[in-house]
Structure 1
């Protein structure tokens, strides 16, 4: 192979498709140097991308809201076909179609052994946890590409048991790399169970996945809040109730109109640090959603927070927020004995069981998030449409393998 087209960040609001070298079975030099290990990766595979999705987390970088450098490769939602294996890969072979957790995990450290694969200790010199194609996440090349290298393949890859069935369900299975487990993790972390009333803040793809997951877990009412009509209609398309936060009406009152009381049993923040206040044209206010979910979650409730919060935001509204310090009403949460679950979803905790639901025809997550296929060359357009609020989950199909 001679090349590898890849999506890269070119500055605020701009991405491009550029040619890179075909990947090698090697880990990033910075990772090898930091941990005193060999760069050669006989434990790795090369995947030919079947699908790779545009994520809201990618948009934070593309908007210039992180410290991502120009030239940062993009893409951490990866589903691919094995085309090359290292000598130490025992349980995968060329032709296997696999889902790749966006968390890169060694499978050997204390965190991996405890099932906390989102905070692996051996894959990122900067902090615990790594991801493909993301700023400060270890220098691993992104997967919005034609080909990508996956390390520690026996641990990280989830093989689909039947190739034909996988391709038939690919627009659902592609969500296993991130947003379906992430949304499910948000709902589980919030304590959603049979009969729960649930509020999900944000009707982007992760919020929709969280709402869909709450339904799978048996919630009696799932309410989704957002400011964009198209996204709220997408939530309604699979049975959610919705509240339009652009109206300026009291969130508690809108919740009460739906469930009969101004509180819910469980709440999920699927928005993160680029949150805005309520009302038409409201300004950015990064603590809004966290304060909202505390205000309407009953005493003793849990709050699932899959929405991204960062330690460095050069475009923040004030100096404190540039360092991840925002005005959260922690006293309110303390007074109500709330529990909070934050951080990367440990995808491997959920992906196999969610795969089984998809293959059994019981989890049409692609329809719930309005999966929309585009070519690799159309990725820049997909980013612009997504940033403008399109109620779609853009799925890149680099090799024309999606039916």
Structure 2
């Protein structure tokens, strides 16, 4: 094999389909690749023919120009694929397996991986703990919005589906296992959602919707989703969530109308650093600490807040100099006074993906329906990015090799 096509970041608001190299079992220099990773051998890896690869809100942050991502970076960290080649050190994964790829790249050998903290692996990114495919400051591992992609530490990283035909039949649900379903589930778990909980989810994008579905799976009594986008709020209502439009006012006032009290047991931030102010209408100005401060106000004393929403240390488009470096004006005293717990950072996907796979395979959850998953060809990725950026209530699933029509 010698060819490959992929989606590359070409500047603020722009992605393109490009011709690129077929992967090999060695890391090469390229956009975003850490110099210390150039030449790194990957005998423990496999090459996947991509079955599905999804457009993520985290990708959208880069495409908007809101990170320090370099031009020509190949995007994509949500990957499901078929193994077509394997390195000499791969023992248990075989050619022909259909697998889910956790977006976290982890080695399985460092002290963090050994205790399940795969989101902050110490060996795959020379700059900082934690890595991901096709993402800024994550070590330079090539992204998976492509026809073919290299996955390292394959025996450790890959989740193999037990039956090929069943996997392909349910692939629109299973494709969510690489990121947004475990990420949403992690947000709900770390917010301590349990049977009978009242839950507030800030954000009705795909991660927020996956969080809401996860809270339902965990037994929440009621899940309230807040957003500025009525189309996305309608999608939340489609699977039994209550909703509030934060353009119309503070969440606590609307929560009291729904629940009888202005607070919830558990809250999750599925918005991140591009949050906008509440009560300012649909065109409210950006105010990056809005959601965090709001959740501290509405979470009951002694409760917990899960924060799967992305926050960065480099945002050239931020509203002020402090926010450009990831420094936000949080009312941390409120959180301290109420004895709230906070959990941030990448979801450790491997902590949850097998259990969530079983829930999908045994029809306990319909995550693709919840997030309104829609398949499009690789060539249509620029349209998918543009429509998603405009607020479409859709999770776009790229179909680079025609598996979804086979």
TM-score w.r.t. the length of structure 1 is 0.98
| Distance of aligned partners of 1:133 and 1:202 in 2 relative to their CA distance in 1, 3 Å threshold | same
2:264 counterpart of 1:264 = yes
2:160 counterpart of 1:143 = no
CA offsets 1:59-100 (integer angstroms, 9 cap, x no match): 000000000011111000000000000111011111100000
- SS in structure 2 at match of 1:320: helix
Check the 8 A contact 1:27/1:151 in 2, yes or no. no
- SS in structure 1 at match of 2:328: coil
Q: Distance in 1 between matches of 2:6 and 2:74?
A: 7
Check the 8 A contact 2:184/2:214 in 1, yes or no. yes
CA offsets 1:283-325 (integer angstroms, 9 cap, x no match): 0000000011111000001000000000000000000000000
Q: Distance in 2 between matches of 1:89 and 1:284?
A: 47
- SS in structure 1 at match of 2:132: coil
Residue 5 of structure 1 is matched in structure 2 by 5
- SS in structure 2 at match of 1:60: helix
1:179-190, aligned counterparts within 5 Å? 179-190=180-191
Check the 8 A contact 2:28/2:39 in 1, yes or no. no
Check the 8 A contact 1:51/1:398 in 2, yes or no. yes
Residue 227 of structure 2 is matched in structure 1 by 226
Q: Gapped runs of 5+ residues in structure 2?
A: none
Residue 54 of structure 2 is matched in structure 1 by 53
Q: Distance in 2 between matches of 1:16 and 1:399?
A: 17
Check the 8 A contact 1:104/1:129 in 2, yes or no. yes
Check the 8 A contact 1:78/1:174 in 2, yes or no. yes
Q: Distance in 1 between matches of 2:126 and 2:93?
A: 28
1:118-267, aligned counterparts within 5 Å? 118-247=119-248, 249-267=249-267
Residue 348 of structure 2 is matched in structure 1 by 346
Shift of 1:260: 1.2
Q: How many residues align?
A: 401
Shift of 1:362: 1.0
- SS in structure 1 at match of 2:285: coil
2:308 counterpart of 1:299 = no
| From 327, 331, 336, the counterpart of 1:325 | 327
Q: Distance in 2 between matches of 1:259 and 1:88?
A: 56
Shift of 1:241: 0.1
CA offsets 1:217-257 (integer angstroms, 9 cap, x no match): 0000100000111000000000000000111x231111011
| From 387, 391, 403, the counterpart of 1:389 | 391
Shift of 1:396: 0.1
Residue 81 of structure 1 is matched in structure 2 by 82
Check the 8 A contact 2:34/2:140 in 1, yes or no. no
- SS in structure 2 at match of 1:70: coil
| From 313, 318, 326, the counterpart of 1:316 | 318
Q: Gapped runs of 5+ residues in structure 1?
A: none
Shift of 1:33: 6.6
| Distance of aligned partners of 1:97 and 1:394 in 2 relative to their CA distance in 1, 3 Å threshold | same
TM-score w.r.t. the length of structure 2 is 0.97
Shift of 1:40: 2.1
Q: Distance in 2 between matches of 1:183 and 1:321?
A: 25
Q: Distance in 2 between matches of 1:33 and 1:175?
A: 32
Q: Distance in 2 between matches of 1:257 and 1:218?
A: 22
Q: Distance in 2 between matches of 1:156 and 1:26?
A: 17
Residue 379 of structure 1 is matched in structure 2 by 381
- SS in structure 2 at match of 1:6: strand
| Distance of aligned partners of 1:32 and 1:89 in 2 relative to their CA distance in 1, 3 Å threshold | farther
Q: Distance in 1 between matches of 2:255 and 2:24?
A: 53
Alpha-carbon RMSD? 1.3
Q: Distance in 2 between matches of 1:259 and 1:213?
A: 20
| Distance of aligned partners of 1:297 and 1:123 in 2 relative to their CA distance in 1, 3 Å threshold | same
Check the 8 A contact 2:119/2:131 in 1, yes or no. yes
- SS in structure 2 at match of 1:10: strand
Check the 8 A contact 1:76/1:142 in 2, yes or no. yes
Q: Distance in 2 between matches of 1:201 and 1:32?
A: 34
CA offsets 1:189-241 (integer angstroms, 9 cap, x no match): 00000000000000000000000000000000100000111000000000000
Residue 67 of structure 1 is matched in structure 2 by 68
